[in-house]
């Protein structure tokens, strides 16, 4: 995993060189920090040369804050272009909030079990999961494992699960993200043919969602025939 690799490199730098040269301190979401030189900003990534080790690329979504040494702060700020999610822009230094609201809330799935074979595994497969992904990384997840209805038809048993989607909010580093809301069955592959009519998998993607420290992002999600649809994605003032 990329975060672990960066943390290991940072730890190696601290162990091998206690008195590091001046540079930037990049604080990551997992609680670790990287010390080195900020070389460039390329799109959504920071290019950093560690005090000990190679150049690394750190995605903005991983970064909580950048601390500049006094001797380098003015030059670094002057050379960094202003814009969303870029170090040096006050409204993107710190944490922001994403709120997701569902207009329609009910989703359901059914799975059939023959001769009660692999009963528990079928039941787990039919669990319904709702996830929020930011730039492909899961930041929120909830699972409904309730069996709401059981129908016995000879040697075939059909289980139905209904889930009511609840509004939620998450705190994330301010910046721009690709946001994806996914509603799916917990295991879509092991017993794919046993689902009626098919495993549940609905996804909604919003590119370039803006989150600021002074204005959070609110996303409204609608559901139509099992498909997720984007409603309004807008900023709202954080009180």
pLDDT, tens digit (0-9, with 9 covering 90-100), for 48-66 = 777 656 677 777 777 766 6
Confidence of residue 148 (pLDDT cuts 50, 70, 90): very high
Of 25-29, 52-56, 71-75, 197-201, give the lowest mean pLDDT range: 71-75
Contacts with 210 (C-beta within 8 Å, 6 or more apart), sequence order: 84, 175, 176, 217, 235
Mean local confidence (pLDDT), 165-176: 89
For residue 99, what are its two tokens? 């709120």
- Nearest CA to 30 among 48, 11, 54? 11
Q: What is the pLDDT of residue 116?
A: 93
Of 105-114, 160-169, 200-209, give the lowest mean pLDDT range: 200-209
Cα separation, 57 vs 47, whole angstroms = 5
Confidence of residue 202 (pLDDT cuts 50, 70, 90): confident
Where is pLDDT greater, at 164 or 35? 164
- Nearest CA to 216 among 234, 196, 194? 234
Element spanning 96, H or E? strand 95-102
Confidence of residue 214 (pLDDT cuts 50, 70, 90): confident
Does the pLDDT value for residue 229 go beyond 70?
no
- Nearest CA to 43 among 27, 22, 62, 58? 58
pTM for the model: 0.60
Does the pLDDT value for residue 31 go beyond 90?
no
What's the start-to-end Cα distance of the chain, in Å? Answer: 36
Mean pLDDT of the chain: 74
Please count the helices (runs of H) and the strands (runs of E) in the chain.
3, 17
Domains, the chain, with CATH or none: 2-92 (2.30.30.100), 97-237 (2.60.40)
Q: What is the pLDDT of residue 48?
A: 77
pLDDT per residue as tens digits for the range 86-128? 444 666 778 888 999 888 788 889 999 999 999 999 999 999 9
């Amino acid at each position: 995993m990329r975060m672990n690799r960066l943390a290991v490199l940072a730890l190696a730098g601290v162990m091998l060189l206690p008195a590091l040269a001046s540079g930037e301190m990049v604080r990551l979401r997992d609680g670790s920090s990287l010390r080195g030189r900020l070389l460039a900003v390329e799109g959504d990534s920071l290019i950093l040369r560690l005090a000990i080790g190679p150049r690394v690329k750190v995605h903005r979504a991983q970064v909580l804050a950048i601390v500049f040494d006094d001797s380098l702060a003015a030059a670094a700020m002057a050379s960094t272009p202003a814009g969303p999610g870029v170090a040096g822009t006050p409204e993107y230094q710190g944490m922001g909030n994403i709120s997701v609201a569902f207009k329609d809330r009910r989703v359901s799935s059914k799975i059939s079990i023959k001769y009660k074979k692999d009963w528990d595994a079928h039941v787990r497969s039919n669990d319904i999961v709702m996830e929020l992904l930011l730039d492909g990384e899961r930041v929120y997840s909830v699972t409904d494992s309730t069996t709401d209805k059981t129908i016995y038809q000879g040697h075939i048993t059909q289980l139905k699960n209904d889930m009511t989607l609840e509004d939620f909010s998450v705190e994330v580093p301010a910046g721009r993200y690709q946001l994806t809301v996914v509603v799916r069955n917990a295991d879509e592959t092991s017993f794919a043919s046993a689902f009626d009519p098919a495993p549940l998998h609905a996804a909604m993607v919003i590119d370039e969602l803006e989150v600021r420290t002074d204005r959070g992002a609110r996303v409204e999600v609608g559901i139509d025939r099992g498909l997720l649809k984007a409603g309004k994605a807008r900023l709202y003032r954080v009180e």
